[in-house]
Structure 1
């Protein structure tokens, strides 16, 4: 079995990425690093080369969808079974790779992803085209999830193009929505990953920039159904107001 892991990094040294270290430990996993960084002081290309990983520079932050498309284009001529998407802040245990090796590449696989506090964030349930947390992964009717640890059959990756109007948010939900609509199966891989969300330790400037990106992406995803985008943005603002202890977030 041949597996490729795609790791998109942004302004973070590879040496500090737990998912980078995890993939390197697996001899049958070829790692492809796609660098969206704007910090020119990083030496990620040399670090990747020394580790035996492939490296693609996006020459700045071009967005996650463009990074994934660049990775899929790079891998298209190479034979393989799986393309695994990794975030730079995800802890991927060896058990994940062991279980993946036992699966046939006949469905998109979503691992169980939890926050550092143990809350399950993926898979989730899509109701009325809005993602909702699920209490148990085995009772989800309309499944969705996040990119971290998502395993995509190579033949699916070879034929898919991400919507590059989406910069960061809802790229995963759009992909899984497309999979459902085209009849591809989506299954849960019962392996736990831990996600370290930087958004759980926010500063005001980062929160404001992140909210701008989310507004644009949700406007693209929902199109004329703008009330759904507004609903989700307001939920996000309320959560941010609580996190930064300031109501002026509601007017951002």
Structure 2
């Protein structure tokens, strides 16, 4: 029996017609895959009309409510439509039919596995997902055939396939806005004993912080969201040592983006925001 799969694409301030992911999914035209658009846009778009005219499932968040809330709305929609597997996508992924071929194969051959993660290379040819969890810096695998342990399994949300049964008694933590949503998802799922699997399929992804050029403003706009999320995650994990590790991690990320953008001011702003997030519990 063919599983019913929902491809969930979260768009932000972009027309669906401009999304690489949506374009690829529509061209694949797979009967078992339903496209679900979750619109986090803060500016006016043509997305509602575009989706209605093409019979695409559309969910408006009426502004940018963050990834966790967008994912929860999508999960609720998919559960109501008796979806078997939910796949989370960014809006700029060059997805191929081979991904779904492999996913369907894994769904059938590994009925005990709940979460499937493809091998994702960044533009710098580093494998960023899946990886093994470490709060300060996840341990990246160096070969696509390398085994990732169950007790440390971690991955990014992009192209992540999750059986809907995972959400029978679970929701994404809406305290988190964007960057740590997937990291905390895996933290919670590991504690629940969820079974994960690395899929033998490669996806190439472009990451903003790995781009050849990054302006100070663009770097800071993205970094400040991540810093607040990291400090929120430390509280969800119980504080204590994680608070200290969170401060160290945030300052290190500030130094990294400051160096990449050649803007020392970013480091000072990062340190300031980190301690503000800690003290005021932003």
CA RMSD of aligned residues (A): 1.7
Q: Structure 2: how far apart are the matches of 1:212 and 1:246?
A: 15
| Residue 39 (structure 1) aligned with residue 43 (structure 2) | yes
Within the candidate set 231, 250, 259, 1:242 is matched to: 259
Q: Structure 1: how far apart are the matches of 2:217 and 2:134?
A: 32
| Residue 139 (structure 1) aligned with residue 147 (structure 2) | yes
| Residue 110 (structure 1) aligned with residue 117 (structure 2) | yes
Q: What secondary structure does 1:146 align onto?
A: coil
Q: Structure 2: how far apart are the matches of 1:177 and 1:186?
A: 12
Deviations 1:37-63 (A, max 9, x none): 1121x2112222233320001111000
Within the candidate set 80, 84, 97, 1:81 is matched to: 84
Counterpart residue number, 2:31: 27
Residue 248 of structure 1, CA deviation: 1.9
Counterpart residue number, 1:91: 94
Equivalent pair of 1:106/1:153 in contact (CA under 8 Å): no
Q: Structure 2: how far apart are the matches of 1:83 and 1:234?
A: 35
Q: Structure 2: how far apart are the matches of 1:160 and 1:232?
A: 28
Residue 128 of structure 1, CA deviation: 5.3
Between Structure 1 and Structure 2, whose CA radius of gyration is higher? 2
Within the candidate set 33, 39, 58, 1:55 is matched to: 58
Larger strand fraction of residues: 1
Farther off after superposition, 173-182 or 43-52: 43-52
Structure 1 residues 130 and 172 mapped into 2: Cα distance closer, same or farther (>3 Å)? same
Structure 1 residues 197 and 16 mapped into 2: Cα distance closer, same or farther (>3 Å)? farther
Equivalent pair of 2:180/2:233 in contact (CA under 8 Å): yes
Counterpart residue number, 2:158: 148
Counterpart residue number, 2:277: none
Equivalent pair of 1:19/1:92 in contact (CA under 8 Å): yes
Q: After the TM superposition, which residues 226-241 of structure 1 pair with which residues of structure 2 at under 5 Å, given as runs?
A: 226-241=243-258
Q: Structure 1: how far apart are the matches of 2:234 and 2:33?
A: 36
Equivalent pair of 1:83/1:157 in contact (CA under 8 Å): no
| Residue 187 (structure 1) aligned with residue 197 (structure 2) | yes
Equivalent pair of 2:118/2:198 in contact (CA under 8 Å): yes
Counterpart residue number, 1:120: 127
Structure 1 residues 158 and 76 mapped into 2: Cα distance closer, same or farther (>3 Å)? farther
Unaligned runs of 5+ in 2: 270-282
Within the candidate set 4, 7, 10, 1:5 is matched to: 7
TM-score, with normalisation over the residues of structure 2? Answer: 0.83
Counterpart residue number, 1:162: 172
Larger helix fraction of residues: 2
Q: Structure 1: how far apart are the matches of 2:246 and 2:135?
A: 12
Residue 238 of structure 1, CA deviation: 2.0
Farther off after superposition, 123-132 or 91-100: 123-132
